[in-house]
Chain A
Amino acid sequence: MGRSTVPKRMKPAIWCQILSFGLFFGLMLLSVHPVPPPVPPEAFLRLDPVAMLAAWLAGAMAWSALGPVFLLLVLTAVLGRFFCGWICPLGATIDAADRRVARDGGPAASWEAWRPVKYQILAIVAAAALFGLSLAFLVAPVAVAMRFYALVIHSLLKAGAARVLSLIRPLALDADWTWVVYADPGVPHFGLPWFSAGAVVLILAAGRLAPRFWCRYLCPAGALLALAGSRPLWRRQVSPACIDCGICQQACPTAAIGRDPRRTRFAECIACQRCVRLCPTAAVRFVPNPAAPPRTPQASRRQVLASAAAGAALAWVDALDPRWPGARRPLPAGGAGLIRPPGAVPESDFLGRCVGCGLCLKVCPTNTLQPAGLAGGWAGLMSPRIVPRLGPCEPACNACGQVCPTGAIRPLAPEEKTWAKIGTAFVLRHKCLAFEFDQSCLVCDEVCPYDAIRLERMENRQVAVPLVDERRCSGCGLCHFHCPVRPASAIVVEPVGALRLAQGSYRRAARDAGLRLHLQRGPHAPPPASAPQAPEDRPPPGFDP
């Protein structure tokens, strides 16, 4: 590959890729409760056409949320698959990896027969979504990239930072750099790390087979953008100065330039403009051309219909599972234990909308949100669940709903969020220190922010025992988290009584249900009532006679 002999040109595509990736990564890093970054971090996810369309079809997501995708499709019709070459964070990652991984001398075998596969995958995903099953978490490129960067890379960076801090802390103490001494970034932990990392590692490893293997042959978003942008207005044009040197064909990452370098497969061209930079005679330009290029079929109709049928069949077979509502006795999602984040819409829409991006997991300040794994069915593998023993759900925090791109978790104002009951705490009396072992402990009462636990002196008991008032309990899990019984807590939160509203006010629904979820701090908490005095014949709680 020779350097260009023409005057230096700007490399807009590469700059844009770098800036775009920087923005994507930076927004992800900055999305920390309670301060949101100026641009919503889920902006890139809102541009992912497969993620958004699947959420719309399978999860009844609002029409209006499709705005960014609609805009993208219109721009793609004019500019071609510029998203893939200029904006997509997974594409930028692939390009960077291809530099290292790509085989010298080009692909060993021709994978061209695989070109239609991405359309087939798109058809499977679309058909399955139409019948209620969202496969977006597996194949939507921005979701896959976000999961990798937010759950794997970010966690590794934090772990590294924590290690460095612990090494330099003694030095900082001597130098009195208090900022460093007390810095505690925290190291988040997320389940299924191999799934989040493995998907991207495999995609990048496929670069060994051919550059941009994923984008060429597998990416359903690329397929959709290819359909929209197969006849772009602004496109590659080759002037008569072309000398048939073959450089552009070799350099094109998506092999969009055929035998004849003057012809371009616009459905595959990602407008990276490498051909423009490398052309020794400056014969290649990207310009608007009102004359429509010829139609080229991308995949056989038969193949696509067969794939669609397969996608539909997948959805129908999955619907046989007794956990879906509509079955006579639906199994509770995840058996007894699957607690969804506050503001999560009802389960079947929740699973339809969740694209497994992992942004809510990342932003959660207590690290309680974890991938559900198989607990909610395989399609909810990366959907969020609350694990109280890892962390409580802070009552004043509403971060997860703020960043969810599809509204699987509704964004709730702080006052609403405190009324979004996610479950109820139950004392396991056979394990509780007070009930079973006559030990005075009252940590659960101490930490409960809703004052839902009262201590009672019961007959035949030396110490006061905790009792949960389920109408005051929001399931936040502070008790479950702080209970000193090891290893498993003696007070556990289960999703009993959780409120899951598709729309409407949580506060109103909770009050209608007779709940009294008054957070003990903040402008909405009622003034503390004067407590009942201890009976005269007994000393007050904790005192000896």
Chain B
Amino acid sequence: METRPPRNPSEIWTLPLNRRRFMHRGLVGLAALAAGTWPPGPARAEGTPDLAIARGRPAEATRAAVAALGGMKAFVRPGQKVVIKPNMSFAPDVERATNTDPEVVRELVALCREAGAGRVRVLDHPLRQPELCIEGVRQACTAFDEDLVHGLAAPDFFKPRVIPGGLQMRQTDVMQDVLEADVLISAPKAKSHGATGVSLSLKGMMGLIWDRGIMHYKYDLNESIVDLAGLLRPHLVVVDATRALTTNGPGGPGTVVRLDTIIAAADPVAADAQTVALVPWYGRRMAPRQVAHIRRAHERGLGRMDIENLRVRHL
């Protein structure tokens, strides 16, 4: 039985899953979460909330939300390599809310730098021409005087990795930078998605692999999203709901609602679930269990969607 907490995002299950192990692991996982020992990293103080919801301008709200979770130093140790995964898969336009707000990404880079990160990269595998898609975020990050924003669109940058515990998808090619990173921060835009309901942190991991078409084509999309989430586990999730694309996502155009909200958590399932509950998708209130991949991730023990049982701090 796996007792020590996993050390890096790509190592989670090493034993095949059966019901007893699942129950056991689930209990251990919950206990670890309650005890604050999971996810790993520098010890987080007692009393830290599981979810932080901050309102305000993009940069300020990001900083406040991360601070409520213990500050970036709770996630990044000095000298560590960090990869930030925003949404930058479409041509940038803040009003259309298809990409993560560049201000949010810039603030996250700044926070990582302040925590002493050794190397920070902002990466995505865009659907359209990379130079075009990353433009907004790249401009926002020029202040850091380093070439840290990249859209990777060549197979050379991806290396094969087995997905342990994968029910449908058992292996995939992942960005080498991510495989070598110490810390993965997911910074998705809050968007609806015509096939999966929403596109948030769990869905966003599809932007770190080479062949995502196969998840549509060969596998059940929702199940393979959860498989992938078992391999690519962010340490920190910061959901950009400053402007949310509530209809016709993920590409739009659709109804953009200004919520001026940032939702942060260490648990991607919880962050996604909270965002589902908070944003008026198609003008309606939806429950996290209505999103198949969030529900399955909860059932498979990758995180908590029962946000009513979690400590939430509003700022």
Question: Residues of A with Cβ closer than 8 Å to B?
Answer: 162, 165-166, 169, 176, 178-179, 182, 184, 186, 365-366, 394, 396, 433, 439-443, 445-449, 451, 455, 463-464, 478, 482-486, 520-521, 528-531, 533-534, 539-545
Interface of chain B: mostly helix, strand, loop or mixed: loop
CB pair A542–B253 under 8 Å, yes or no, is no
**B93 interfacial contact with A, CB 8 Å:** yes
CB pair B255–A440 under 8 Å, yes or no, is no
CB pair B213–A484 under 8 Å, yes or no, is yes
Q: In the complex, A7→B60 CA distance in Å?
A: 77
A-B contact pairs, 24 of them (CB 8 A): A178-B148, A182-B147, A182-B152, A184-B152, A184-B153, A365-B129, A441-B195, A445-B251, A463-B195, A482-B127, A482-B213, A484-B217, A486-B213, A486-B217, A521-B93, A528-B96, A528-B253, A531-B253, A531-B255, A540-B281, A540-B286, A541-B193, A543-B291, A544-B295
Q: In the complex, A70→B195 CA distance in Å?
A: 61
Q: In the complex, A451→B91 CA distance in Å?
A: 14
Q: Which residue of A lies closest to B247 (CB)?
A: A531
Q: In the complex, A440→B132 CA distance in Å?
A: 28
A303 to B: closest C-beta gap in Å: 54
Which of A166, A449, A486, A544 is the one whose CB lies under 8 Å from B290? A544
CB pair B128–A447 under 8 Å, yes or no, is yes
CB pair A443–B216 under 8 Å, yes or no, is yes
Are A440 and B196 CB-contacts (below 8 A) given A178-B146, A184-B154?
yes
B289 contacts across to A, CB distance below 8 A: 544
Which of B146, B148, B150, B251 is the one whose CB lies under 8 Å from A447? B251
Q: In the complex, A365→B129 CA distance in Å?
A: 9
Q: In the complex, A497→B314 CA distance in Å?
A: 55
B255 contacts across to A, CB distance below 8 A: 530-531
Are A541 and B213 CB-contacts (below 8 A) given A451-B253, A533-B283?
no
Interface string of B193-216 (1 = CB under 8 A from A): 111111000000000000011111
A533 contacts across to B, CB distance below 8 A: 247, 282-284
Q: Which residue of A lies closest to B211 (CB)?
A: A484
CB pair B194–A455 under 8 Å, yes or no, is yes
CB pair B91–A521 under 8 Å, yes or no, is yes
CB pair A179–B147 under 8 Å, yes or no, is yes
CB pair B250–A446 under 8 Å, yes or no, is yes
CB pair A540–B93 under 8 Å, yes or no, is no
Q: In the complex, A487→B251 CA distance in Å?
A: 25
Additional A-B contacts beyond A166-B156, A531-B255 (18; CB < 8 A) = A178-B146, A178-B147, A439-B220, A440-B195, A442-B194, A445-B194, A449-B91, A451-B253, A464-B195, A528-B96, A540-B197, A541-B195, A542-B193, A543-B197, A543-B286, A544-B289, A544-B291, A544-B295
CB pair A540–B253 under 8 Å, yes or no, is no
Q: In the complex, A396→B248 CA distance in Å?
A: 23
B194 contacts across to A, CB distance below 8 A: 440, 442, 445-446, 455, 464, 541-542
A520 contacts across to B, CB distance below 8 A: 91, 96, 251-253
CB pair A169–B282 under 8 Å, yes or no, is no
Which of B157, B216, B251 is the one whose CB lies under 8 Å from A448? B251
Q: Which residue of B lies closest to A178 (CB)?
A: B147
Q: Which residue of A lies closest to B197 (CB)?
A: A542
Are A543 and B195 CB-contacts (below 8 A) given A394-B129, A446-B251, A484-B216?
no
Q: In the complex, A534→B249 CA distance in Å?
A: 13
B245 to A: closest C-beta gap in Å: 10
Question: Residues of B with Cβ closer than 8 Å to A?
Answer: 91, 93, 96, 119, 127-129, 132, 146-148, 150, 152-154, 156-157, 192-198, 212-217, 220-221, 247-248, 250-256, 281-284, 286, 289-292, 295
A259 to B: closest C-beta gap in Å: 62
Are A534 and B93 CB-contacts (below 8 A) given A178-B147, A445-B194, A520-B253?
no
The 9 closest A-B pairs by CB, nearest first: A528-B253, A484-B213, A542-B197, A540-B282, A531-B247, A440-B195, A484-B217, A484-B216, A178-B147
CB pair A440–B253 under 8 Å, yes or no, is no
Are A540 and B284 CB-contacts (below 8 A) given A445-B194, A482-B213?
yes
A543 contacts across to B, CB distance below 8 A: 197, 281, 286, 290-291
Q: In the complex, A146→B288 CA distance in Å?
A: 59
Q: In the complex, A238→B107 CA distance in Å?
A: 79
CB pair B127–A447 under 8 Å, yes or no, is yes
CB pair B214–A169 under 8 Å, yes or no, is no
Which of A441, A482, A483, A528 is the one whose CB lies under 8 Å from B254? A528
Q: In the complex, A440→B225 CA distance in Å?
A: 13
Q: In the complex, A481→B283 CA distance in Å?
A: 33
B71 to A: closest C-beta gap in Å: 26
A218 to B: closest C-beta gap in Å: 42
Q: In the complex, A527→B282 CA distance in Å?
A: 18
Which of B127, B256, B292 is the one whose CB lies under 8 Å from A446? B127
B154 contacts across to A, CB distance below 8 A: 184, 186
A530 contacts across to B, CB distance below 8 A: 247, 255
A441 contacts across to B, CB distance below 8 A: 195, 216-217, 221
Q: Which residue of B lies closest to A541 (CB)?
A: B194
Q: In the complex, A539→B247 CA distance in Å?
A: 12
A396 to B: closest C-beta gap in Å: 7
CB pair A531–B254 under 8 Å, yes or no, is yes
Q: In the complex, A165→B154 CA distance in Å?
A: 12
CB pair A433–B156 under 8 Å, yes or no, is no
CB pair A182–B253 under 8 Å, yes or no, is no
Q: In the complex, A543→B195 CA distance in Å?
A: 8
CB pair A540–B291 under 8 Å, yes or no, is no
CB pair B221–A439 under 8 Å, yes or no, is yes
